[in-house]
Structure 1
Amino acid sequence: MSATHGHPAPCRVLVVDPALGEQALTELTALSALGLVPTVNLRRVTDPALRARIEADWDTVDFDGFSEEELTRRLEDEGRGYQAFKCHAGIPLTRNVLERATAGGLRRRLVLVGRAAAGSDTFDHAAAQRLGVAIRMAPGANAAAVAELTVSLMLDALRGIARRDRDLRGGSWSAAVEGLPASSLDGARVGLVGSGAVARRTAELVRAFGAEVWVFGSPRFTRERAADWPGRRVQTLADVLAGCDVVSVHVPASVETEGLIGAEELRLMRPGSVLINTARASVVREEALDRALRDPASGPSRAAVDVFESEGARFSSVLADNPYCTLSPHVAGTTRVAMRTASHRLIEEFARFVNETGLVARASR
């Protein structure tokens, strides 16, 4: 739509991946109510009926949002541009994408981007700040869901649930009962690397199983903050790795956490211990974990991983053929409740931004 007398240029938002199921309609309606006119990418909308309903009410496109070049072209939209952008997956908002989406020749300049998730490590925050693009997220929205899967993976690693299922389906009762009696969370010491919302919820859940909890948190995790936690604050990462039966990672991807747990750190872990990573792949080195699991004298004996360096259609990992590691396809936060909550919270963040900046009013002038 062009800006003509009586028809102001709309404030456009590119929705790279809408919320799941019927929640997509609620989300798009809420964006429209804010004065943000959605263009919806249908690439990951697989339900034909839902696609048809979206196409009936909003402009649509179909492209690979994980392709940096395709994403950039869509944001430029032949010079029309967008003021806002929404996703819930790990879409690559790199410096190049942001620079081209804010270029002076565009009719609309990108000023607001949001991800309906807790993290935004695929966004270039430094470039966004330099270019005046606000980033909004939904921290804590999926904490309960991630904690649930974390504990599920702990139980699988300790009890061998998936392995025993495979053995029974293969017709071998004797193989299925190997390694009994199994370990359990009851009486175990669980160490949490991280002190955010997911770690807090995980601590609450494993305590209910009878586990003792140790926590190595960020510098913000002071004695005062730790006082009401269901666990003991410890001083160093080495304390957690060497002192716990199960170690679970809950830190964001950052310069500080990249390679936080490598070969040297894994060697500190107890024989027979378990490592769980539902945080970010960059925190635990896949190659180092693979080698440690294959060496009975080095580090953990079992692991479970939900995050990988290469994901999606291009998935590959050295852990894929490791018999001591359970793999999960980065789905810890993907529950209906978590995604609905994340969508609601991001819409609230968008509404706050629109109201505080007058974005829609400016666009209509």
Structure 2
Amino acid sequence: MLDHHHVPGRVLVVDPALGEQALTELAALTDLGLVPTVNLRRVADAGLRARIVADWETVDFDGFSEEELARHLEDEGRGYQALKCRAGIPLTRAVLERATQEGLRRRLALVGRAAAGSDTFDRAAAQRLGVAIRTTPGANAAAVAELTVALMLDALRGVSRRDDALREGLWSAAVEDLPAGSLADARVGLVGSGAIARRVAELVRAFGAEVWVFGSPRFTPERAAGWPGRRVESLSELLAGSDVVSVHAPATAQTDGLIGAEELRLMRPGSVLINTARASVVREEALDRALRDPASGPRRAAVDVFEVEGPGFSSVLADNPHCTLSPHVAGMTRSAMRAASRRLLEEFAHFVKETGLLSGGLR
């Protein structure tokens, strides 16, 4: 049997923090006794790449490829005890099984993602294989809420489409649909009751909006008592009663297709839908059809999340004139990224201290 007591700890950093925070993050992982191997694929800044190469072992691979991820976690038998990422990498059952297989000098015990979600991770397989998953829910709540409100204002006031019209010299098109809607005296319905939804509620109330909230079963009347908004009993009630609907539900089996064609038909004529949560919650094709139908409820939408993202991006909404598109950047502010990195490092430190990750192997 392999003696793990003398095997130094290793962490595969699939994508480091952005900018100078990457160096702070890598130094902190090193201080925990973990030897980082840094994937440079998403490090665009040449100067930062050079500084990382000077101090740490590096690799360069596609972290979104299941096969490449599994192969690098195996690392020709050397293995890793920990993995750190920012993006939604494909941490599937097959990847986890290969990263924890017998015979590796180190077997994966900890995965940390500097973001709130983990819907691309097979949590059931991780639990079965003894791999802990740590994320940073709430670290980017303020950032996502800010963009959510910005997209609401764009959908209501037509900022981006009026800009496009003026750049084409079309003044008459730029002043169409006036007077515009506003958040003042509007009713904003929030689908979800987490930290992001709460921050959105606080922001839109400052504009004079009324807030309704439809949350998970955990969002009981007792929990809703201190909220800056009214709890409603059903999604249909919220959709039918709101001028603006903003989606903040996680991607789960229960929320998959939560808002489809039938639900969109319940929305008020001329209403607005915003999705900065997950693409699976609102069906893209159903939203596209609803926006193109003058008799349907929603008239405008703004979407930050898509079924197919990255260099291969495609969406039926891409040529829909009633929808504003944003490339899944709601949480990507400097402040939010620093906060997520710091919080994840705290999670790593706690795990190392509580489990003795580096003091005698993994199993």
TM-score range for the pair, normalised by the shorter chain length? over 0.9
Match of 2:97 in 1: 99
Match of 1:210 in 2: 208
Match of 1:143 in 2: 141
Q: 1:349 aligns with which of 335, 347, 350?
A: 347
Tell me by how many angstroms 1:298 deviates. Answer: 1.2
Q: Per the alignment, in what secondary structure is the counterpart of residue 362 of structure 1?
A: coil
Match of 1:181 in 2: 179
* Identical counterparts, % of pairs: 81
Match of 2:130 in 1: 132
Q: 1:249 aligns with which of 239, 247, 250?
A: 247
Match of 1:19 in 2: 17
Q: 2:284 aligns with which of 262, 283, 286?
A: 286
**Aligned pairs for 1:264-283 within 5 A:** 264-283=262-281
Tell me whether 1:82 sits opposite 2:65 in the alignment.
no
Displaced runs of 4 or more, over 2 A: none
Q: Distance in 2 between matches of 1:191 and 1:272?
A: 14
Q: Per the alignment, in what secondary structure is the counterpart of residue 359 of structure 1?
A: coil
Q: Given that residues 17 and 87 in structure 1 are in contact (C-alpha distance below 8 angstroms), is that contact kept between their aligned partners in structure 2?
A: yes
Tell me by how many angstroms 1:362 deviates. Answer: 1.7
Letter in 2 for 1:108: R
Q: Given that residues 3 and 361 in structure 2 are in contact (C-alpha distance below 8 angstroms), is that contact kept between their aligned partners in structure 1?
A: no
Letter in 1 for 2:75: D
**Aligned pairs for 1:1-365 within 5 A:** 8-363=6-361
Q: Given that residues 10 and 363 in structure 1 are in contact (C-alpha distance below 8 angstroms), is that contact kept between their aligned partners in structure 2?
A: no
Give per-residue Cα distances to partners, 1:124-161, cap 9 Å, x unaligned. Answer: 00000000000000110000000000000000000000
Tell me by how many angstroms 1:9 deviates. Answer: 2.1
Tell me by how many angstroms 1:172 deviates. Answer: 1.1
Letter in 2 for 1:34: L
Letter in 2 for 1:116: A
Q: Distance in 2 between matches of 1:222 and 1:36?
A: 42
Give per-residue Cα distances to partners, 1:37-70, cap 9 Å, x unaligned. Answer: 1000000001111001000110000000001111
Q: How many residues align?
A: 361
Unaligned residue ranges in structure 1 (runs of 5+)? none
Q: Distance in 1 between matches of 2:67 and 2:256?
A: 26
Q: Given that residues 12 and 37 in structure 2 are in contact (C-alpha distance below 8 angstroms), is that contact kept between their aligned partners in structure 1?
A: yes
Q: Given that residues 81 and 101 in structure 1 are in contact (C-alpha distance below 8 angstroms), is that contact kept between their aligned partners in structure 2?
A: yes
Tell me by how many angstroms 1:363 deviates. Answer: 4.4
Q: Given that residues 7 and 105 in structure 2 are in contact (C-alpha distance below 8 angstroms), is that contact kept between their aligned partners in structure 1?
A: no
Alignment TM-score, normalising by the size of structure 1: 0.97
Give per-residue Cα distances to partners, 1:240-295, cap 9 Å, x unaligned. Answer: 10000000000100000000000000000000000000000000000000000000
Q: Given that residues 279 and 307 in structure 2 are in contact (C-alpha distance below 8 angstroms), is that contact kept between their aligned partners in structure 1?
A: yes
Q: Distance in 2 between matches of 1:103 and 1:25?
A: 31
Q: Given that residues 83 and 108 in structure 1 are in contact (C-alpha distance below 8 angstroms), is that contact kept between their aligned partners in structure 2?
A: yes
Q: Distance in 1 between matches of 2:285 and 2:103?
A: 45
Q: Given that residues 63 and 70 in structure 1 are in contact (C-alpha distance below 8 angstroms), is that contact kept between their aligned partners in structure 2?
A: yes
Q: Per the alignment, in what secondary structure is the counterpart of residue 248 of structure 1?
A: strand
CA RMSD of aligned residues (A): 1.4
